[in-house]
Structure 1
Amino acid sequence: METRKFPSLNNNNNLESSNSVRENLVNKHGPNTRRSGFKDSVFAFLGRLMPGKKHDGGTRSEEEEKVYSWLYALAQSEDDLVFEYVRSTERVCICAGLSFTEAERRLRESGPNVPLDYTFPRWWQLLWNAFFHPFNIILVVLTAFSFVSRDYPNGSIMLILVFISVSLRFFQEFSSSKAAMKLSEFLKCPVKVQRCAGRVVQTELIVQIDQREVVSGDIVSFGPGDLFPGDVRLLTSKDLIVSQSSLTGESGTTEKTAHIKEDRTTPLLELRNICFMGTSVVSGSGTGLVVSTGSKTYMSTIFSTIGQQKPPNAFEKGVRHVSYVLICVMLVLVTIIVVFEYFESHNLTESLLFGISVASALTPQMLPLIVNTSLAKGALAMARDRCIVKNLSAIQNMGTMDILCMDKTGTLTMDRVIMIDHLDSWGLPKERVLCFAFLNSYFKTELKNPVDDAILAYVYTSGYRFEPSKWRKIDEIPFDFTRRRVSVIIEKDSNAKDRNHDCLDRFMVTKGALEEVLKICCFVEHVNKGVSLPLSLEDHQRILHMGEELSNDGLRVLGVALRRIKTETSGGGAVKDETVESNMVFLGLVTFFDPPKDSAKQALWRLAEKGVKAKVLTGDSLSLSIKVCKEVGIRTTHVITGPDLELLDHAAFHETVNRATVLARLTPTQKLRVVQSLQTAGDHIVGFLGDGINDSLALDAADVGISVDSGASVAKDFADIILLEKDLNVLAAGVQRGRVTYGNTMKYIKMSVVANIGSVLSLFIATLFLPFEPLTPRQLLTQNFLYNVGQIAIPWDKMEEGYVKIPQRWSPKDLPLFILWNGPVCSLCDIATLLFLWFYYGAYSPLDAKFFHSAWFVEGLLMQTLIFHMFRTEKIPFIQDVASWPVICSTVLVSAVGIALPFTPIGKVMKMIDLPLSYFGFLVVLFLGYFSLGQVVKRIYILVYKRWL
């Protein structure tokens, strides 16, 4: 490898200038800046020269501003100053690069070269976080009391529920944590670096090391297929083409060159002398100076939040809040009941046992099982729709989601280029244009791309017969990003029999960017006269204007040109002189389009009907994005680009993001900020659909991260849901299933809290007036057990159509209001039963305790079982709306067991007696009255608050 000689190392003037800069920095910021603090000093120094503007309302962090300022400064500096900034070469060293000793010291100082500097929680920390939840604490405490009181069945049930809840949460969080660790591995690759060796005479060696061992100041060499191990300032380059799709998400490539100085106005990812960590070399070669590694790279600013634990969503916060409320209510009521019982019976053991039973009845023990069963059922249903759910809580978030952000390519479009038309210079279809565009793509061998495949597919499927076998390729001038065109030299095969065709001689056929093709054309084919005429300025402007109009329509436009080459020009062999691309005849242009999916418009309409707004976040051009969005029915009245977003202040940024439906030319960081803006300033539940590494930030931040099976592994790791087919119809179905899951969960929460609190209040009131316990501890636990068993069928219930049409959100004020309105109705029925038993049957003395226990047991169980049918629908239960058959069967079964239990031997063991028929007549009247009064309260509640569940 030829060693590059750097002028700064041999020029005393340059050395003095560079040293003076360093000395000034050292004097300003202290002597320690020569070591680890030197780069921070440079940041501060450059910040004074070029203060970094915090765009989009100051959302960019201080670390990001440092990275941006550092890279811009290096892009604007000469090579010698860049070497001085990163201290790549000691003054006594005559070769370029770091010594092995210095590289090892820097590696110890800066740590391994990985883009994330994040400490992942240990498994025991995740297990503790999963366990330490107030609801679990309640059940564990009750379990302990149950075992102390020798109530082993009830204690075992509660312990099993805790185990299921903790296990599910632990495995979900453990899987998410492991996914973040994979990011540090996907860049693992060998890197060629230039190091100085020798004690007396130092020489340059090219060594191959692991990417994790690269340090700032290393000189690296690279070729096709190599990944950049850090942010690199180019030193030499030869036809260097780089893919930045890992950062931008776009499949296009970028030309990079060392021999240029950039300015501050150039967007960061468009700096031509800076290559970024994680990007790859498509073609060409070069050397570069590593200026940033690990957490100091641009990639680290993109992925800085990945792997960190997400805050709990509104539903999780709501359940936690309910748990705290239940703890407070439980402590107050149970304490009072235990005190009253003790004064009545003077038996502390019996009083404590009854208090534990009341606390158990107050706790919605089936909540974790109902929630997880509902989520698991939704996950299985979505799996049948070829949609894999990794994080169960994402199903609930899908039910509350009201904005879906998505990329354009592959989501709204087919992610493949198709050819649309072949036009001459007047915009008329011309077969001759297609013929030579086809021959160019057919014989082209280097850097095949989807455009060539689209041309070939168009010709083969449209019935054209251009017979490429009659042609022979002589040479090719490959595509490069300076010329932006490709040319092939072809001639008619000598064995061809048709000698009357106008293409008997050797031809050069050129295809490429319209502007670049026009630059080499001096003639234009006249459509009417059939001859080539000089390309006038008017023709030139007309063709460019036509191309611009087609581009504004969302089409990609390429020009096609032709030149007849005399045999003596080529010498009968290959053409090596690129100046042969001149004096060409402009034939016309070909247009391409990535068509929208047939299902996209229907799916977006279904999402809109469900109150989910679609926003397109893409790195593509604005005109192409608008074209596609119009095709699929997305409104394009408010659009903006990433560079324009950078210029907005805080308030304008949030307002624009909330209003815009199409946001084009976005960087990964901008996608993240858009998602965060919608979540915070807009108070939306945001879903994000992406499949690239560049989408990982937004996927991790979104409330619902969605990727596809064909997406990048990192994107799939951080997604909550993976689509086996990139079809928005699957998401529309998932939104509906999410709302059904959320609705059924809310049914149980509201019903159980109202029923349990109402039941405990009734027990408390009865305890005040009766000389005995309203129910024995065993009867109370049995009633609670049967009631809980009956709720297992709730996840299989259906939801009303009106409920699933709009996004559902947890409201912290909703549950207390719901309890205040509906709780007294339940307690009123229990009190009516108490009065009926007292006055009609005279069951108020200890002698009548068994009868009272049996009657109160049946009424309480039926009330708690039937109340679900009142709460599950806004309509009149059993008349206007009927529950699903699993719920009906569960209700009938539990009610039958509860009614029959006093008549069975088990009931006798539990100290129950047979109930008279008249009591069941009273229960019929009681529940008819309850449903009538409950429906009146329901209608008033809906009228006041405009919602029910």
Structure 2
Amino acid sequence: MGRRYPLLPTQNNSDSADTSNNSVRQHLIDRSTPDVENSIAGFPSIISGFLRRFTSGVKVDGGSRSEEEEKVYSWLFAVAKSNRDIVYEYVQSTERGLSFAEAEKRLKENGPNTPLEYTFPRWWHLLWNAFFHPFNMILIVLSVASYIACDYLNGCIMLVLVFVSVSLRFYQEFSSSKAAMKLSEYVKCPIKVQRCAGRVVQTELVVQIDQKDIVPGDIIIFEPGDLFPGDVRLLSSKHLVVSQASLTGESETTDKTADIQEDERTPLLDLRNICFMGTHVVSGSGTGLVVSTGSKTYISTIFSAIGKQKPPNDFEKGIRRISYFLVGVMLVVVSIIICTEYLASLDLSESFLFGISVACALTPQMLPLIVNTCLAKGALAMAKDRCVVKSLTAIRDMGSMDILCIDKTGTLTMNHAIMVDYLNGWGTQTEEVLRFAFLNSYFKTDQKYPLDDAILAHVYTNGFRFQPSKWRKAGEIPFDFIRRKVSVILETETSAADRNERFMITKGAVEEVLKVCSYVQSSDNGGVIPISSEERHRIQNLTEELSNEGLRVLGVALKRLVVKSKNKRKEGDDSTELDMEFLGLIIFYDPPKETAKQALWRLAEKGVKAKVLTGDSPALAVKVCKEVGIRTNHVITGPELELLDQETFHQTVQRATVLACLTPSQKLRIVQSLQMVGNHIVGFLGDGVNDSLALDAANVGISVDSGASVTKDLSDIILLEKDLNVLVLGVERGRATFGNTTKYIKLSVIANVGSILSLLIATLFIGFEPLKPRQLLVQNFLYSIGQIAIPWDKMEDDYIKKPQRWSPRDLPMFILWNGPLCTLCDVAALLFIWFYYASDKAASQEFFRSEWFVEGLLMQTLIIHLIRTEKIPFIQAVAAWPVIISTVLISSIAIAIPFTPFGRIMGFVSLPLSYFGFLVVLFVGYFTIGQVIKRIYIHVHKRWL
């Protein structure tokens, strides 16, 4: 805090406080002010008790605000519609400000002035959550078992996989939990505060303190560029223009004034005497009374849900179910195999080692590596498309995304206004209107707005020559909120008459310009005639029609002033803005991007529906949506949503394509409704602080490089270009990633479970180990290595065209249909070997294991080609070249090992050529029967992967 001066309380102060309590209570009773309990620190207890009645029945439904939001809204509306004296009493402050002692007391009671109270989890909590996962537990147990079985290589591989998986998850969750801390940058600046000090005679001092030390009741002084450190009720203002882009996402500025009392019909962000925490001053100056700080400000309602852990999605739940399933199968099968081996050999150690090997073979060891490789490959591919992926899992979610919620400004539109037309009062294009509008924008100096730049750009780029050098400025009446217009007084020399001709040119809101106009040009000869009520009504209707088309309109008026004596000029003032001639209208438009329509069409082709969530007016949103091809049959506004009950709210959100005039909390509720009620995977594209809630809640949060820092921190994906075509590519990458991940999960579970069941059957049938532990581990290791190429496989076009979701019932049904076929083929090989080759059981064990090793490894290697496509493998569909190379390489190794010295060490023997002829017949039969099962499965379940 700044320099401290003790202030002793006096009798007058205590009397004032008592009077304050009584007057505030009576004021609230008279005006039936809604609940503002706990809105600020030090709120009188008698008021809190009285107002508690107003919150006891608050209910939250689909279209309503939460209880905390309702408190903030009610408090700000109560402050906005009260005069300054009453507001001083509300916050127990004075016109001199707070004393240093009182400010320090309130700071201790409220804590630092930060917009979000959030306790971040300790790093070891996040590490434990990342580590304690069923699949990690399986790998760790099997790694320990592998070390016990002296298979150090396999044990090391599994520990490395655990380390990679835990590290990635820990990093992502740790980064996400800290995102909300970036909010402090919106209020990090020194604030000028008026404090009172003195033991006997109190004097007012202006000190600079840090924003975190601001408390309710402080009087702040602000200038251009200053941030508001809390929600502020204006006390005085001079030409005050404020940017609320951090809350609304819209680039347009807002005019504020202290000389007004609002009513509850005004939308919260349109309150003209309230400035919000996180917004900043564009121009003008003034003073304000801080009425809310910290977590009780409006901006805190936006971020109240940020940082909360999201529930696991369907894919994560599916992985957990797979883990539990494998654990169950492992316990049953391994127990049976260990018991069978022990009864046959009476060697407990050897039986235990073989059981561990079977358990290792049952586990899809490469699952973490395959999943993360698929995601990393997708991230690298998107990086080439100028798209930064922060959360790898977001790529997979993009493949499942079926609804994309987008903000209009800067996404569908260029986010800057261009001038498109200039019309006189009769709707005819007239150059005179443009000429005087240009002169107004050229010579005004108080504040240049984007619309002024649009007028100047239109004149310069279209070759108009209005020669501003022949004019000179004689005066200016700056823009202010009450007048909502700006006037410049220009003069030019007329040498022939030695006279000075002067014009006043006014430009501003059409309704305000019309108020000061008494004349308008006639429709026939261009002469000036008195303006009638019918003419005013016609011009207003024309303006309304243009506004309904999503255009922004300004009015232009002119008044000719003649001053005979150069020495007795009278500068223009407010009274001069009378009896003017209405010239016409200047029309602006924020055009849609050329690429938006094509991108939305491509997304629709891929099953992704677009919904526009914007804070703009419905008319403007509808116009833009029509131009980019979004259907506008169902349009709803935020205020209309507030009136709906929960069920109707959800139904309306599912149906609507354009949702306008939305607050940040309404965007959040819409996203949550789509997720929970509609069971959609929702992506949200936004770049303003007002989008942060929805970005955090969406399955895929997408921001742009030019967006607010907090939105980039909360987003999963950051676009380096505001181009929806990048998202189309992201959707394609996401679906390919999802497909390859699903492909590996299904084939690995089927192959592993099928081979383990075959081992169980073989163990029970032949009475000895079908494979030695080291042979089984080598087979499993080679198979796992061969699957590393799966992330580089391609997906079919039909698969990419539709959103892909993980179904809880999909994997069990897939296993029941396809798993028995693998076991059936293994059993066929077992019977062929046993009855065709085994003449002497004791001598044939090595021969049997050699043949079983080759057949099992080839089966697990080739199954990828049956699983990866709906079509006939090798005929209608061929895998990507990395998968082909991997298949050929592992198959060659499988066939060659029994003939090599390494095979001799492993206990294998050479195999006859007739056996390989049998394998050809076996696998042709396997693929034939597998294709028949595949077609029946697709016919029943309407999908394959």
TM-score, length-scaled by structure 1 = 0.94
Q: Residue 637 of structure 2 corresponds to which residue in structure 1?
A: 641
Q: Deviations over 1:596-627 (max 9, x none)?
A: 11111100000000000001111111101111
- Selected match of 1:508 from 500, 504, 508: 504
Q: Residue 74 of structure 1 corresponds to which residue in structure 2?
A: 79
With over 3 angstroms needed to count, the CA separation of the structure-2 counterparts of 1:240 and 1:14, relative to structure 1, is farther
With over 3 angstroms needed to count, the CA separation of the structure-2 counterparts of 1:641 and 1:932, relative to structure 1, is same
How far apart are 1:456 and its partner, in Å?
1.5
With over 3 angstroms needed to count, the CA separation of the structure-2 counterparts of 1:161 and 1:493, relative to structure 1, is farther
Are 1:407 and 1:617, in contact at CA under 8 Å, matched by a contact in 2? yes
Q: Residue 881 of structure 1 corresponds to which residue in structure 2?
A: 877
Q: Which moved more, 1:845-854 or 1:929-938?
A: 845-854
- The CA distance in 2 between the partners of 1:238 and 1:52, in whole Å, is 42
- The CA distance in 1 between the partners of 2:501 and 2:56, in whole Å, is 62
With over 3 angstroms needed to count, the CA separation of the structure-2 counterparts of 1:47 and 1:173, relative to structure 1, is same
Which amino acid in 2 is paired with 1:121? P
- The CA distance in 2 between the partners of 1:406 and 1:843, in whole Å, is 73
1:158 equivalent in alignment to 2:158: yes
With over 3 angstroms needed to count, the CA separation of the structure-2 counterparts of 1:570 and 1:793, relative to structure 1, is farther
- The CA distance in 1 between the partners of 2:444 and 2:886, in whole Å, is 70
Q: Residue 370 of structure 2 corresponds to which residue in structure 1?
A: 370
- Selected match of 1:768 from 761, 764, 771: 764
Q: Secondary structure of 1:305's match? A: coil
Which amino acid in 2 is paired with 1:692? G
Correspondence 1:600-619 to 2 at 5 A: 600-619=596-615
1:594 equivalent in alignment to 2:590: yes
Q: Residue 93 of structure 2 corresponds to which residue in structure 1?
A: 88
- The CA distance in 2 between the partners of 1:931 and 1:33, in whole Å, is 71
Q: Secondary structure of 2:196's match? A: strand
Q: Residue 32 of structure 2 corresponds to which residue in structure 1?
A: none
- Selected match of 1:60 from 54, 65, 71: 65
1:896 equivalent in alignment to 2:892: yes
Q: Residue 231 of structure 1 corresponds to which residue in structure 2?
A: 231
1:453 equivalent in alignment to 2:453: yes
- The CA distance in 1 between the partners of 2:16 and 2:127, in whole Å, is 60
Which amino acid in 2 is paired with 1:142? L
- Selected match of 1:944 from 933, 940, 943: 940
Q: Residue 856 of structure 2 corresponds to which residue in structure 1?
A: 860
1:632 equivalent in alignment to 2:628: yes
Q: Which moved more, 1:59-68 or 1:221-230?
A: 59-68
Q: Residue 520 of structure 1 corresponds to which residue in structure 2?
A: 516
- The CA distance in 2 between the partners of 1:349 and 1:538, in whole Å, is 104
With over 3 angstroms needed to count, the CA separation of the structure-2 counterparts of 1:14 and 1:902, relative to structure 1, is same
- The CA distance in 1 between the partners of 2:217 and 2:145, in whole Å, is 65
Q: Secondary structure of 2:316's match? A: helix
Q: Secondary structure of 1:505's match? A: strand
Q: Deviations over 1:688-729 (max 9, x none)?
A: 111111111111111111111111111111111111110000
- The CA distance in 2 between the partners of 1:40 and 1:860, in whole Å, is 79
Q: Root-mean-square deviation (CA), in Å?
A: 2.6
With over 3 angstroms needed to count, the CA separation of the structure-2 counterparts of 1:570 and 1:376, relative to structure 1, is farther
- The CA distance in 1 between the partners of 2:714 and 2:38, in whole Å, is 39
Q: Which moved more, 1:728-737 or 1:331-340?
A: 331-340
With over 3 angstroms needed to count, the CA separation of the structure-2 counterparts of 1:936 and 1:376, relative to structure 1, is same
With over 3 angstroms needed to count, the CA separation of the structure-2 counterparts of 1:670 and 1:628, relative to structure 1, is same
With over 3 angstroms needed to count, the CA separation of the structure-2 counterparts of 1:106 and 1:512, relative to structure 1, is same
1:935 equivalent in alignment to 2:931: yes
Q: Which moved more, 1:208-217 or 1:391-400?
A: 208-217
Q: Deviations over 1:111-144 (max 9, x none)?
A: 1110111111222222222211111111111111
1:45 equivalent in alignment to 2:47: no
- The CA distance in 2 between the partners of 1:884 and 1:385, in whole Å, is 22
Q: Deviations over 1:848-885 (max 9, x none)?
A: 11111110111111110111110100111111111111
Correspondence 1:343-354 to 2 at 5 A: 343-354=343-354
Which amino acid in 2 is paired with 1:842? A
Give the gaps of 5 or more residues in structure 1: 1-8, 27-31, 90-94
Q: Deviations over 1:29-73 (max 9, x none)?
A: xxx999967467645533536888657536533222222232233
Runs of 4+ deviating beyond 4 Å: 9-17, 21-26, 32-41, 49-56, 568-574
With over 3 angstroms needed to count, the CA separation of the structure-2 counterparts of 1:362 and 1:49, relative to structure 1, is closer
Q: Which moved more, 1:172-181 or 1:124-133?
A: 172-181
Are 2:508 and 2:556, in contact at CA under 8 Å, matched by a contact in 1? yes
Are 2:113 and 2:294, in contact at CA under 8 Å, matched by a contact in 1? yes
- The CA distance in 1 between the partners of 2:209 and 2:516, in whole Å, is 46
Q: Residue 428 of structure 2 corresponds to which residue in structure 1?
A: 428
Q: Deviations over 1:360-387 (max 9, x none)?
A: 1111111111111111111111111111
- The CA distance in 1 between the partners of 2:45 and 2:783, in whole Å, is 65
Are 1:554 and 1:628, in contact at CA under 8 Å, matched by a contact in 2? yes
Q: Secondary structure of 1:566's match? A: strand
Q: Which moved more, 1:823-832 or 1:437-446?
A: 437-446
- The CA distance in 2 between the partners of 1:340 and 1:21, in whole Å, is 89
With over 3 angstroms needed to count, the CA separation of the structure-2 counterparts of 1:272 and 1:40, relative to structure 1, is farther
- The CA distance in 2 between the partners of 1:386 and 1:472, in whole Å, is 49
Q: Residue 5 of structure 1 corresponds to which residue in structure 2?
A: none
Q: Secondary structure of 2:62's match? A: helix
1:805 equivalent in alignment to 2:801: yes
- The CA distance in 1 between the partners of 2:487 and 2:26, in whole Å, is 54
Question: How many pairs align?
Answer: 928
- The CA distance in 2 between the partners of 1:709 and 1:942, in whole Å, is 43
Q: Secondary structure of 1:918's match? A: helix
Q: Residue 438 of structure 2 corresponds to which residue in structure 1?
A: 438
- The CA distance in 2 between the partners of 1:427 and 1:563, in whole Å, is 21
Q: Residue 6 of structure 2 corresponds to which residue in structure 1?
A: none
Q: Residue 796 of structure 1 corresponds to which residue in structure 2?
A: 792
Q: Which moved more, 1:664-673 or 1:250-259?
A: 250-259
With over 3 angstroms needed to count, the CA separation of the structure-2 counterparts of 1:574 and 1:721, relative to structure 1, is farther
With over 3 angstroms needed to count, the CA separation of the structure-2 counterparts of 1:527 and 1:193, relative to structure 1, is same
Q: Secondary structure of 1:791's match? A: helix
How far apart are 1:260 and its partner, in Å?
3.5
With over 3 angstroms needed to count, the CA separation of the structure-2 counterparts of 1:25 and 1:920, relative to structure 1, is farther
1:583 equivalent in alignment to 2:585: no
Which amino acid in 1 is paired with 2:788? I
Are 1:417 and 1:594, in contact at CA under 8 Å, matched by a contact in 2? yes
Q: Secondary structure of 2:584's match? A: strand
Q: Which moved more, 1:754-763 or 1:316-325?
A: 316-325
Correspondence 1:394-405 to 2 at 5 A: 394-405=394-405
Q: Deviations over 1:60-114 (max 9, x none)?
A: 332222222322333344444433333336xxxxx73322222222222221110
Are 1:401 and 1:807, in contact at CA under 8 Å, matched by a contact in 2? yes
Q: Deviations over 1:291-327 (max 9, x none)?
A: 2211111111110111222222211121122112111
Which amino acid in 2 is paired with 1:73? A
Which amino acid in 2 is paired with 1:273? N
Q: Residue 688 of structure 1 corresponds to which residue in structure 2?
A: 684
- The CA distance in 1 between the partners of 2:532 and 2:27, in whole Å, is 58
Which amino acid in 2 is paired with 1:152? Y
How far apart are 1:348 and its partner, in Å?
1.7
Q: Which moved more, 1:572-581 or 1:61-70?
A: 572-581
How far apart are 1:662 and its partner, in Å?
0.6
Are 1:612 and 1:807, in contact at CA under 8 Å, matched by a contact in 2? yes
Are 2:399 and 2:734, in contact at CA under 8 Å, matched by a contact in 1? yes
- The CA distance in 2 between the partners of 1:49 and 1:792, in whole Å, is 63
Correspondence 1:117-132 to 2 at 5 A: 117-132=117-132
- The CA distance in 2 between the partners of 1:582 and 1:687, in whole Å, is 53
With over 3 angstroms needed to count, the CA separation of the structure-2 counterparts of 1:40 and 1:175, relative to structure 1, is farther
How far apart are 1:937 and its partner, in Å?
0.8
Q: Which moved more, 1:467-476 or 1:877-886?
A: 467-476
How far apart are 1:487 and its partner, in Å?
1.4
How far apart are 1:574 and its partner, in Å?
6.7
With over 3 angstroms needed to count, the CA separation of the structure-2 counterparts of 1:574 and 1:335, relative to structure 1, is farther
- The CA distance in 2 between the partners of 1:934 and 1:880, in whole Å, is 15
With over 3 angstroms needed to count, the CA separation of the structure-2 counterparts of 1:24 and 1:372, relative to structure 1, is same
Q: Deviations over 1:903-928 (max 9, x none)?
A: 01111100000011111111011111
- The CA distance in 1 between the partners of 2:831 and 2:66, in whole Å, is 67
Which amino acid in 2 is paired with 1:453? D
Q: Share of identical aligned residues, percent? A: 69
Q: Which moved more, 1:137-146 or 1:167-176?
A: 167-176
1:281 equivalent in alignment to 2:277: no
How far apart are 1:939 and its partner, in Å?
0.7
Which amino acid in 2 is paired with 1:213? D
Q: Which moved more, 1:598-607 or 1:11-20?
A: 11-20
1:491 equivalent in alignment to 2:491: yes
